[in-house]
């Protein structure tokens, strides 16, 4: 699993995104998810030929893009979570 994520993060260093749709141009298997009012929209990355999923919230600033990792797990684990509300790193 670590190798898949290493390759993913290496690819991030070569990206230049201005809008969320640029993410899906860089990562063809990524999906933009629009969440309801007051919720942060998300990007779902398929990693390792769809063996793993990573859900990220995001912020597009003037000079930077910030991805907030909300979930990392297998495809089977992903099927059990709500994309818009999951935050495994918040207690």
Are the CB atoms for 82 and 70 separated by under 8 Å? no
Identify the three-state secondary structure at position 7.
helix
pLDDT at 91: 67
pLDDT at 3: 77
Provide the residue-wise pLDDT of the chain in tens; the chain has 91 residues: 667 777 777 877 778 888 889 999 988 989 999 998 877 899 999 988 889 999 999 988 888 888 899 999 999 999 999 999 998 877 6
Other CB atoms within 10 A of residue 3 CB: 8
pLDDT at 57: 93
Residue among 8, 14, 3 at smallest CA distance from 29: 8
pLDDT at 80: 96
Q: Which stretches does DSSP call E strand in 1-91?
A: 31-33, 42-47, 52-60, 65-74
- Tokens 């390759």 locate to 7
Backbone angles phi, psi at 46, to 5 degrees: -95, 120
Q: CA neighbours within 13 Å on the CB side: how many for 29?
A: 12
């Amino acid at each position: 699993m670590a190798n898949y994520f290493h390759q993913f993060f290496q690819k991030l260093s070569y990206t230049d995104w201005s809008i969320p749709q640029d993410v899906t141009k860089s990562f063809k298997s990524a999906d933009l998810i629009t969440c309801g009012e007051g919720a942060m929209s998300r990007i779902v990355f398929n990693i390792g030929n769809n063996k793993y999923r990573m859900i990220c919230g995001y912020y597009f600033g003037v000079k930077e893009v910030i991805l907030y990792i909300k979930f990392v797990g297998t495809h089977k684990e992903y099927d059990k979570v709500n994309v818009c509300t999951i935050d495994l790193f918040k207690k």
